[in-house]
Amino acid sequence: MAPRTNKRLSARFTLKRSVVPILLVAAGYYAVFGGGSSVWDLLETRKNVVVERTRLEEARVKIDSLQVELQQLKQDPAIIEQIAREQYGMIREGEVLYRFTLTTAEGPPPLTR
């Protein structure tokens, strides 16, 4: 009976020696390439974090410049007047506004009556 037991143990040992490495390779493959949190997903997420940090810094700079502009608008009436004149074409009482139009290579547009 001893030889049979030895053969069984030998067969089990051989099975363990072949199955365990296959399972380890499969688990490693799954960790790197498969699943919802693979190595590729981790690398992609790290790249996205860098991009979002850049966008966040750009947004902070924009917010800072807008806050400076807001303070200037609150404190300096000359800036408000400049914006009113340039963007909205407003003039003071007694002033005359002249508007110049660009002409094409063919000449000025025809006068309409």
Each domain of the chain, given as residue ranges in start order, spans: 7-36, 37-92
**pTM of this prediction?**
0.50
Task: Give the whole-angstrom CA distance, residue 6 versus residue 13.
Answer: 10
Summary mean pLDDT of the chain: 83
Task: Give the whole-angstrom CA distance, residue 76 versus residue 73.
Answer: 6
Q: What is the pLDDT of residue 1?
A: 46
Q: What is the pLDDT of residue 67?
A: 97
Task: Give the whole-angstrom CA distance, residue 22 versus residue 33.
Answer: 16
State how far the alpha carbon of 25 is from the alpha carbons of 21, 22, 99, 106, in Å: 6, 5, 78, 78
> Which carries the bigger pLDDT value, residue 68 or residue 7?
68
Q: Tens of pLDDT along 53-97?
A: 999 999 999 999 999 999 999 999 999 999 998 898 899 899 888
Q: What is the pLDDT of residue 7?
A: 64
